[in-house]
Each structure stands twice: as structure tokens, then as C-alpha cells.
Structure 1
Amino acid sequence: MRNNLVLTDETARHPFRATLPPHVRASGERRDINSVWEITTQDVKEFLMAYCACFMAASIFLA
């Protein structure tokens, strides 16, 4: 497949990113990875409930 009509940008540093339009490639505001992943107590409670439910279901299935 040839994309001769697609304008490329050499500063994109990747063939796929080079084919994207400038407004998609523009990051605007970069977010810090640490600010994205905030774990709350509600997240921990939901994880433990799901883990316990799956553990019980697997135990009952294998018993």
C-alpha cells in the first residue's frame, strides 16, 4: 500500500506518526504520568472485592 498523497513530517520520528495530521500529532499539554495514576481507597476496595469474588468462584469451580 502506497501513500504518495500523504504529507509527512520528518520531526515525527516514526512512520505512522509522520502520516498523522498536525492537529492530531500536537500534544498541546503533556501530562505527568504520576498525576494520571492516582489510586484511591475506593479503587482498592473495588479491586479487593473483584479479587475475592474471582478467587471464590475459581475455588468453588475447582472443588
Structure 2
Amino acid sequence: MRRLQRRTLVLTSESARHPFRRTLSPRVCTAPFPADVEAAENEQARCAWRLSGADWRGFLSAYCASLVAIVVFIA
């Protein structure tokens, strides 16, 4: 007869079918947050990524300075 081994410590999730998902920790595969918590987090993230006029001005000045430096270097 075949003897089954009993494992006391299982580091993988055997209910996951894909090999990559099997290696993830159990906290990664838990149920998602409720809808209201998820919506609040999305709104907070949307506000954090909003660009202001100073951001655009800084980006454009860095872009123009880099463009001028490259043109001067090539010419």
C-alpha cells in the first residue's frame, strides 16, 4: 500500500491551480475590500495623482532645457 505523508508546514496554497499563484502568500489571495472602501481608496489615489499648473510648468521647463542642451551638443 501507498503511504501518505502528512505535512505539518505547507508553504504553498494547494487550492491554487496555477504554479505562480501557488507560490504566493495566503494574504495576497484574500477577498477584496468592500465596495465603499475600494471607492474611497480610488478617490484618494485620483486626488494624489492630479497634476497642478506648477507640475506642468516644471515638466515643460525641464523638457525645453533638455531639448536645447541636445541641440547645442549636436550642432
Normalised to the residue count of structure 1, the TM-score between the two structures is 0.57
Aligned residue in 2 for 1:7 = 12
Aligned residue in 1 for 2:55 = 43
Q: Assess, with a 3 A threshold, how the Cα gap between structure 1 residues 58 and 21 changes in structure 2: closer, same or farther.
A: same
**Shift of residue 37, structure 1, vs aligned partner:** 2.3
Q: Percent of aligned positions with the same letter in both sequences?
A: 24
Runs of at least 5 residues in structure 2 that lack an aligned partner in the other structure? 1-9
Aligned residue in 1 for 2:5 = none
RMSD (Å) for aligned C-alpha atoms: 3.2
Separation in 2, partners of 1:14, 1:37? 35
AA aligned opposite 1:7? T
Q: Is the 8 A contact 2:12 2:22 kept in 1?
A: no
Bigger CA radius of gyration: 2
Task: Tell me which of the two structures has the higher relative contact order, counting C-alpha pairs closer than 8 angstroms and 6 or more residues apart.
Answer: 1
Normalised to the residue count of structure 2, the TM-score between the two structures is 0.50
- The equivalent position to 2:42 in structure 1, one of 13, 32, 36, is 32
Separation in 2, partners of 1:58, 1:7? 52
Which stretches of structure 1, 4 residues or more, deviate above 6 A after TM superposition? none
Runs of at least 5 residues in structure 1 that lack an aligned partner in the other structure? none
